[in-house]
RNA sequence: GGGGCGUUCGUCUAGCGGCCCAGGACACCGCCCUCUCAAGGCGGAGAUCAGGGGUUCAAAUCCCCUACGCCCUACCA
C-alpha cells in the first residue's frame, strides 16, 4: 500500500450510538494510529426520514469518552469537508448527472411503493427490487413524455448485465459476484438526496480514503460500490470487512440484548479503558494468552491479519470481569474521582456532598471488591450514614448467644473508647486480645464487630475499615449497637 | 427464492501442514489463603477442531461437497 493511510468512520444519525458502530470506529482508529495515518469522521445523514436529532452529538460524545480522537470531521474540520453529507448534495447531483449522460445510470419513473408496506414474505420472495422496472430501456421519446407529467423520479445505476465484480478483501480474501445477480440500485432519491451507495463512493474518493473498514453487513454492497468507482473513473480504496457483533441469541445485536448504546456503559459504571480493551478482543487478539492489553500495545500491534473472520457474541460477564481488573489498577485518588458521579447519583441526598479526602481513604478498601462503578453507592453507603439500624438478631454469630454477643460488644466498646490510636495494626492487636479473653474465635468476635459497625455481614477487612471510619464513628456505632441490642431483648 | 460470508470448549479466542489426542481468558466446580466478601494461588470439568470426502509420510490448518448460522436482497444506512 502506497501513500498515506486515511480511514473514515461514517455513522448515520439515526439513533443512539451502538456498540457495534463504536467497535467499527475503534478498529478504524487503531488502524490509522498504527500506520500513523488519519482517522476521519464523516456523517452520513442522507436519510432525512430516519434522522434522529442529537444522535451525532451522542456519537461524538461516546468517542470522546473512549478517548478516540479524530483528525478530520465534525468540530475539528479538515481540508476535505464539509463532513456532513447533507451539505454536499451538489456533488452527488453532479455525479448522478454525469453517470446518466455517460449511460451508466438512468432516470426511473416507476411509482414508488413504501417498503414498509411489504410483508416480510414479499421481501423474502422478491427477486430484485428493480426486476419489474423497464425504465432502463426507455426511448428518448418516452423519457421526454414521462418527465413532463411525472414530477418526481429517481436515478438508478445501470449495472452491467454480464461479467463478474471482484474485491480482494483484506480480511476475507477474494470475493466475487456475478453481475447478473446485482440489481439496478437507486443512487439518487426523489427527495434529491443520494443513497448511501453514491454518497459513500463519492466521498471516499474525494476524501482520499485509502482503506474502507466497515462491518461485514456491507460486504454484499461492495460490488455496487466497485462498479460505481469504475463508472466514475475513480480508483477504489482497499476494503476490509469486519466481523459483526451479535447478541446472545446470535442475531444482530440490538436494544433487546441489554445495554448496547455507548452511553449505557458509562451509566452502568464501565470504565472507558476497560470497554476499549474488551471491544478490541471482539475480533482481534494479540496472541494466545493476552487479555488485558493497553491501548498503546494494541496500536503497536494492530494489523489486519490478526482480525477474526467470524462474528462475535457480546459477553457482558467478561466485560464486567475486565472492568474489575481496570478498577483495581486505578490509584485511590483516581478511583475516588471516578466514583464521585455515581455517589452523587445514587447516595441519599442528605449524605451529599461526599468528603473527597474521606472517599480517597475509603477507595482502597473497595477497590478489589467492585467490578463496576455502579456499585459505588451501595458498597460505601455505611461509611457515610450515621448509626446503622440493622436487625439486631443478625449480630449474633454462629455458636454465640445473646449474652456472649452483648459482652463482646461491651468489651469492644471499652477498648475502642479507651484508645486514640486507630491505626489498624494497633486495633488488630488490641481487639484480638479482647477476643481471646472472651474465648471467641476471630470469626465470631470480628463478625459481631463487623455487623455492629456496618450493619452488614460483608465488608472490607475490619481493622482497616475501622481505621478509616475513625474513632468518632466507630465508638458511636458500637454504643448504638449496645443500646439497641440491649433494648431488643 | 437469489447472492455473499462464516463455522475451534457455553462465550471471547490462539492456531496459518508436523511443537496440538488443541493453548489462554470469562463463567462454572474444588482446594489453599483468610475476620466476612473479594482479590490472589493451585487444580478440575469443558472442543470427536460443524459433518463427509479427498490431497499428503503427516490436516484444526490445503481442496471439494453437505449441513447449519448470519448478513444483504428498501427512494435505510
Give backbone dihedrals phi and psi of A481, rounded to 5 degrees, phi first. -65, -45
- Strand B positions with any atom < 7 Å from protein CB? 1-8, 10-16, 23-27, 34-40, 69-77
d(CA A471, CA A49): 64
- At CA A402, angle to CA A401 and CA A408, rounded to 5? 90
Residue carrying the nine cell digits 429517481? A154
A118 nearest nucleotide via C1' and CA:
B74
d(CA A230, CA A226): 6
pLDDT in tens, A468-488: 999 999 999 999 999 988 887
CA of A310 to C1' of B49 (A): 15
A282 nearest nucleotide via C1' and CA:
B12
Give backbone dihedrals phi and psi of A450, rounded to 5 degrees, phi first. -60, -45
Strands A6-9 and A38-41: parallel
- At CA A243, angle to CA A242 and CA A244, rounded to 5? 115
Strands A245-246 and A238-242: unpaired
A460 nearest nucleotide via C1' and CA:
B37
CA of A75 to C1' of B54 (A): 59
**Would you write out chain A's pLDDT as a tens digit for each of its 489 residues?**
458 999 999 999 999 999 999 999 999 999 999 999 999 999 999 999 999 999 999 999 999 999 999 999 999 999 998 999 999 999 999 999 999 999 999 998 887 654 444 544 455 455 444 566 778 887 777 777 777 766 668 999 999 999 999 999 999 999 999 999 999 999 999 999 999 999 999 999 999 999 999 999 999 999 999 999 999 999 999 999 999 999 888 877 777 777 789 999 999 999 999 999 999 999 999 999 999 999 999 999 999 999 999 999 999 999 999 999 999 999 999 999 999 999 999 999 999 899 999 999 999 999 999 999 999 999 999 999 877 677 888 899 988 888 999 999 999 999 999 999 999 999 999 999 999 999 999 999 999 999 999 999 999 999 999 999 999 999 999 999 999 888 876
d(CA A66, CA A49): 30
Contact A67, A26 (CB under 8 A): no
A128 nearest nucleotide via C1' and CA:
B73
Sheet containing strand A105-108, strands side by side: A105-108, A154-157, A186-188
Q: Which residue is nearest to nucleotide B14 (CA to C1')?
A: A288
> What Cα–Cα distance (Å) separates residue A152 from each residue in A148, A149, A402?
10, 9, 88
For residue A28, give the C-alpha cell.
Answer: 478504524
User: Quick one: pLDDT at residue A112?
Assistant: 67
Q: What are the DSSP calls for A185-205, one per residue? A: -EEE-TTSPBPHHHHHHHHHH
Question: How many other C-beta atoms can be found within 10 angstroms of the C-beta atom of residue A67?
Answer: 11
CA of A452 to C1' of B36 (A): 13
A281 nearest nucleotide via C1' and CA:
B12
CA of A355 to C1' of B21 (A): 61
CA of A166 to C1' of B5 (A): 14
For residue A365, give the C-alpha cell.
Answer: 478498601
Residue carrying the nine cell digits 453514491? A198
What do you get for the CA distance between the two ends of chain A, in Å?
A: 82
d(CA A223, CA A386): 68
Q: What are the strands, taking DSSP E only, across A152-281?
A: 154-157, 164-169, 173-178, 186-188, 211-215, 238-242, 245-246
User: Quick one: pLDDT at residue A352?
Assistant: 87
User: Quick one: pLDDT at residue A2?
Assistant: 55
What's the ipTM? 0.96
CA of A177 to C1' of B65 (A): 21
User: Quick one: pLDDT at residue A128?
Assistant: 45
Q: Residue A327: CB partners within 8 Å, gap ≥ 6?
A: A271, A274, A335, A367, A370, A371, A372, A373
Q: Which residue is nearest to nucleotide B23 (CA to C1')?
A: A288
What are the residue numbers of the active site of A?
255
d(CA A470, CA A237): 65
Amino acid at each position: 500500500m502506497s501513500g498515506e493511510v486515511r480511514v473514515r468512520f461514517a455513522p448515520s444519525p439515526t439513533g443512539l450510538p451502538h456498540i457495534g458502530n463504536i467497535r467499527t470506529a475503534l478498529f478504524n482508529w487503531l488502524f490509522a494510529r498504527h500506520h500513523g495515518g488519519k482517522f476521519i469522521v464523516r456523517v452520513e445523514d442522507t436519510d432525512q426520514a430516519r434522522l434522529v436529532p442529537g444522535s451525532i452529538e451522542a456519537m461524538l460524545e461516546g468517542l470522546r469518552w473512549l478517548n478516540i480522537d479524530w483528525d478530520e470531521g465534525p468540530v475539528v474540520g479538515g481540508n476535505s469537508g464539509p463532513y456532513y453529507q447533507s451539505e454536499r448534495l451538489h456533488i452527488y447531483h453532479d455525479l448522478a448527472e454525469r453517470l446518466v449522460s455517460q449511460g451508466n445510470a438512468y432516470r426511473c419513473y416507476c411509482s414508488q411503493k413504501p417498503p414498509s408496506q411489504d410483508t416480510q414474505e414479499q421481501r423474502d420472495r422478491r427477486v430484485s427490487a428493480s426486476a419489474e422496472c423497464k425504465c432502463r430501456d426507455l426511448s428518448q421519446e418516452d423519457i421526454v413524455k414521462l418527465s413532463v407529467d411525472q414530477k418526481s423520479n429517481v436515478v438508478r445505476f445501470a449495472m452491467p448485465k454480464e461479467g463478474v465484480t471482484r474485491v480482494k478483501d483484506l480480511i476475507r480474501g477474494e470475493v466475487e459476484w456475478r453481475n447478473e445477480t446485482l440489481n439496478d440500485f437507486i443512487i439518487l432519491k426523489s427527495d434529491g438526496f443520494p443513497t448511501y451507495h453514491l454518497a459513500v463512493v463519492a466521498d471516499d474518493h474525494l476524501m482520499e480514503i485509502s482503506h474502507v473498514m466497515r462491518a461485514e453487513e456491507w460486504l454484499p454492497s461492495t460490488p455496487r460500490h466497485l462498479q460505481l468507482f469504475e463508472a466514475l473513473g475513480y480508483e477504489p480504496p482497499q476494503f476490509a470487512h469486519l466481523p459483526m457483533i451479535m447478541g446472545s441469541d446470535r442475531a444482530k445485536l440490538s436494544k433487546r440484548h441489554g445495554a448496547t448504546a455507548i452511553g449505557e456503559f458509562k451509566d452502568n459504571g464501565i470504565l472507558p479503558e476497560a470497554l476499549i480493551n474488551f471491544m478490541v478482543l471482539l475480533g482481534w487478539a494479540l496472541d494466545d494468552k493476552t487479555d488485558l492489553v493497553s491501548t498503546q500495545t494494541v496500536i503497536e500491534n494492530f494489523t489486519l491479519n490478526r482480525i477474526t473472520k467470524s462474528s462475535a457474541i457480546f459477553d457482558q460477564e467478561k466485560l464486567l470481569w475486565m472492568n474489575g481488573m481496570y478498577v483495581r489498577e486505578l490509584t485511590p485518588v483516581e478511583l475516588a474521582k471516578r466514583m464521585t458521579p455515581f455517589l452523587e447519583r445514587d447516595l441519599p441526598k442528605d449524605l451529599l456532598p461526599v468528603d473527597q479526602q474521606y472517599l480517597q481513604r475509603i477507595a482502597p478498601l473497595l477497590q478489589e471488591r467492585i467490578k463496576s462503578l455502579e456499585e459505588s453507592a451501595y458498597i460505601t453507603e455505611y461509611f457515610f450514614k450515621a448509626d446503622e439500624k440493622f436487625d439486631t438478631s443478625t449480630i449474633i454469630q454462629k455458636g454465640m448467644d445473646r449474652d456472649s454477643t452483648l459482652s463482646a460488644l461491651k468489651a469492644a466498646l471499652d477498648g475502642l473508647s479507651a484508645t486514640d490510636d486507630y491505626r489498624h495494626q494497633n486495633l488488630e492487636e488490641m481487639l484480638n486480645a479482647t477476643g481471646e479473653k472472651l474465648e471467641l474465635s476471630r470469626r465470631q468476635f470480628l463478625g459481631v464487630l463487623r455487623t455492629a459497625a456496618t450493619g452488614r455481614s460483608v465488608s472490607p477487612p475490619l481493622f482497616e475499615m475501622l481505621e478509616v471510619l475513625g474513632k468518632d464513628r466507630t465508638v458511636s456505632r458500637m454504643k448504638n449497637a449496645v443500646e439497641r441490642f440491649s433494648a431488643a431483648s
